[in-house]
Amino acid sequence: MVQVLPQIASTQETLEELVNQIGRYEAIVSAWDDSQQAVVMGLKGAIEALHKEALTRLIRTVKQESITALRQAAEDEVVYGLLRYHELIKPPLSQRLQQALAEVRPSLHSHNGDVELVAVRLPDTVEVRFTGTCSHCPASTLTLSDGVEQAIKRHCPEILYVVAVSTEVATPSASSPEDPAWRLVTSVAEIPEAGVLDIKLEGKRLLLSRSGAQVSCFHDACTHLGRSIAAGAVSNGLLTCPEHGFQYRLTDGACLTAPEMPLQRYPVRVENGRVFVQL
Ligand code: FES
């Protein structure tokens, strides 16, 4: 006996109700036998294919008129989710870069080495740093071109140049303010213990956090859609993006929502209560 659910939610009803509605239908269908489920899945697939084709044509037309309008539309979380579901837009660049590095890590680990993303220089360049054995391995250049670079270019075709930067992290001299590699950004006292301090420096949005004496500095850009996270709520050392709720650990920038998408981190040095950041 087929259970009939109430009418599909009207446009006035909330998205949450729509999602619940779908969940209830799925629960019913999951109790059906295989042949009935196959019919439902076939119907679902056909409807989705039709929607995908319509969306593809819509995107093509809007793109011709205004790429900006298309980008703005994709910033809506529902639109973004739908386009991602139909694989009509790629995941964010940061996510694809992390996927590429995750792909090559097992082979680097087998040589007691690793690779980390240092910087993304839009529009077409990324910098990586080899660590561990790979950092002083004469074959690391070969490793880069053969493994890391290929993986990055495969996942991120918009990236044309992959540059291996030095494994040495520059440290400021006693006269740090004069060292052009480091910028004096603030004092430790200015950074709230259970909060964040946002600063704009040379056109970059920075976010500083502090846990006792340990200071961390991140690019103030959510790895989901690049929005500022400075106004996000901080609780138990976690910062929540005010836009769609991605959560980040403030000690190291790890993303709890999507572990492959940590915040971009900058080296920090504290001297006599003054905080220097290497951009
Ligand atoms: S921009 Fe979407 S979670 Fe931050």
Query: What DSSP assignment string belongs to 73-128?
Result: HHTSHHHHHHHHHTT-SPPPHHHHHHHHHHHHHHHHHTTTEEEEEEEEETTTEEEE
Secondary structure letter of residue 141 according to DSSP: H
The confidence score (pLDDT) of residue 169 equals: 43
Measured CA distances, 112 to 101, 108, 115, 259 (Å): 15, 6, 11, 22
Which of 84, 89, 95, 224 best tests ligand 1's pocket when mutated (most atoms within 8 Å of CB)? Answer: 224
Q: Which of 79, 80, 241 to mutate to test the pocket of ligand 1 (most atoms within 8 A of CB)?
A: 241
93-164 under CATH 3.40.50.880, yes or no: no
Residue 46: partners with Cβ closer than 8 Å, 6 or more residues away: none
Span 209-225, pLDDT tens digits: 988 878 899 999 888 87
Report d(CA 255, CA 6) in Å as an integer.
39
> 67-74 and 34-65 helices cross at what angle (nearest 10)?
140
Atom of ligand 1 nearest to the CA of 244: 3
For the chain, the residue count is 279
Nearest CA to ligand 1 atom 1: 225
Q: Provide the 10 A C-beta neighbour count for residue 183.
A: 20
Domain ranges of the chain: 15-85, 93-164, 176-277
Cα 232 from Cα 43, distance rounded (Å): 42
Burial class (CB in 10 A: 0-12, 13-18, 19+), 247: middle
Which amino acid, one-letter code, is at 24?
R
For ligand 1, pick from 89, 95, 239, 246 the residue to mutate: most ligand atoms within 8 Å of CB. 246
The whole-angstrom separation of Cα 183 and Cα 195 is 22
Among protein residues, the one with the nearest Cα to ligand 1's atom 3 is 244
Going from the Cα of 241 to the center of ligand 1, the distance in angstroms, rounded, reads 6
Are both 93-164 and 176-277 of the same fold? no
Mean pLDDT of the chain, nearest integer:
81
What is the structure's pLDDT at 13?
A: 58
Distance from Cα 244 to the centre of ligand 1, integer Å = 5
SS3 149: helix
pLDDT at 212: 80
Give the Cα separation of 255 and 234 in Å (integer): 14
Ligand 1 atom nearest the C-alpha of 225 is: 1
Which pLDDT belongs to residue 266? 87
How far away, in angstroms, is 224 Cα from ligand 1 center?
5
**CA-to-CA distance for 61 and 65, rounded, in angstroms?**
7
Q: How far is the CA of 254 from the centre of ligand 1 (A)?
A: 14
How close is the Cα of 222 to the center of ligand 1, in Å?
Answer: 6
**How far is the C-alpha of 37 from the C-alpha of 43, rounded, in Å?**
10
Spatial CB neighbours of 229, under 8 Å, sequence gap ≥ 6: 207, 220, 221, 222, 239, 241, 242, 246, 248
Q: How far is the CA of 240 from the centre of ligand 1 (A)?
A: 9
Q: What is the mean pLDDT of each run of 10 residues along the chain (279 residues)?
A: 50 72 91 94 95 93 86 82 85 85 86 81 79 61 70 88 62 48 84 88 87 87 86 91 90 85 86 83
Tell how far the Cα of 80 is from the centroid of ligand 1, in angstroms.
Answer: 11
For residue 144, the 8-state DSSP code is: I
How many whole angstroms from 242 Cα to the centroid of ligand 1?
A: 7
Name every protein residue with a CB atom under 6 angstroms from any ligand 1 atom.
222, 224-225, 227, 241, 243-246
Domain 176-277 has CATH 2.102.10.10: yes
For 112: left if phi > 0, alpha if psi spans -120 to 50, otherwise beta; the answer is left
> Going by CA atoms, what residue is nearest to atom 2 of ligand 1?
244
